Amino acid sequence: MKRFLGIIIIIAATQNIALADTQPLPESVSVTGTGRVSVAPDRFTFSVGVQTVAQSVDAAVNENNAKVASVIAALKKAGATDKDIRTSNFMINPQQDYQNGQLARILGYQVANSITVTRTNVGEAGKLLQAAVSAGVNTSSGLQFEVSNPATGRADGLKRAFDDAKAKATVLAQAAGRTVGRALTISEGSQAQPPVPYVRAMAMRVEAQSVSEVPVESGSQELSYTVSVVFELR
């Protein structure tokens, strides 16, 4: 008898599992929402350099070293620290003559040394650029403003993305004569990277006495977040 009851219990449990597996999933609508927030940059980066040309490698390097040392000293005097300044590139290129189909003849050597400055006080960007130009830089790769903390604005952006997704789901549900229920699943999408503000600085040497502070504006950056949400339909 006990064995018979055990068989009945097993059969009943199997039937319940089968019924659970065949229960229809709730009707739903899947949407993607986008949330955008504007944040003020709190860090800037720019690269400046010195190019020199001389007939020998030693002469070109020595002249370049002296000028770069002057630029670094001027940057520090203007407020930059050791951790704000780093050497980002150093090159030596022979200057060659290819005329008349003959073998190249070396006329001299060009030495280029680039310095990258990164600082958190965006209000000092113009002053530091002016200091570098006045000290003798003759090349620049531009100026970038950045948001140093990637989490800045994230919570607000995700909330706005969810609200946008729910608004879209509501419109679709109303079009189908339904209403939106609870959120069944939520997944965060990748954060869209904003375009980096870029300002090209001067690429020619200017005499120190004629250089005023470079006018720059950091503006703001728009960060974009996305979420995909599946809402229950009622």
Higher pLDDT, 70 or 212: 70
pLDDT in tens, 73-122: 999 999 999 999 999 999 999 988 877 667 777 889 999 999 999 999 88
Q: Cα separations (Å) of 134 from 79, 105, 110, 201, 210? A: 15, 35, 21, 13, 8
The answer on pLDDT for 57 being more than 90 is yes
126-140 mean pLDDT: 92
Nearest-angstrom CA–CA distance, 83 and 105: 42
- Check whether 59 has a pLDDT greater than 60: yes
**Quick one: pLDDT at residue 149?**
85
pLDDT at 208: 40
Which pLDDT score is estimated for 193? 55
Comparing 142 with 206, the larger pLDDT belongs to: 142
Q: Determine the pLDDT at residue 45.
A: 93
Residue with the larger pLDDT of the pair 203 and 14: 14
What percent of the chain lies above the pLDDT cut of 70? 76
**180-188: strand order across its sheet:** 28-39, 221-233, 180-188
Band of residue 202 on the pLDDT scale cut at 50, 70, 90: very low
Taking CA atoms, 91 is separated from 68, 94, 204, 220, in Å, by 13, 10, 19, 35
CB atoms near residue 47 (< 10 Å): 21
CATH number of 41-148+197-216: 3.30.70.2970
Listed in sequence order, the residues at least 6 apart from 111 whose beta carbon sits closer than 8 Å to its beta carbon are 51, 52, 53, 54, 57, 60, 61, 63, 64, 90, 91, 92, 93
List the domain boundaries for the chain: 41-148+197-216
pLDDT reported for residue 191: 66
As to burial, measured by CB atoms within 10 angstroms (0-12 exposed, 13-18 middle, 19+ buried), residue 211 is middle
Check pLDDT > 90 for residue 15: no
The C-alpha atoms of residue 152 and residue 15 are separated, in whole angstroms, by 53
Per-chain mean pLDDT for the chain? 82
Q: What percent of the chain has pLDDT over 90?
A: 57
CA separation for the pair 51, 91 (Å, rounded) = 9
3-class SS at 117? strand
User: 3-state DSSP: the chain helix, strand, coil percent, rounded to 5?
Assistant: 35, 35, 25
For residue 205, is pLDDT > 50?
no
Q: How many CA atoms lie within 13 A of 73 on its CB side?
A: 8
pLDDT greater than 90 at residue 207: no
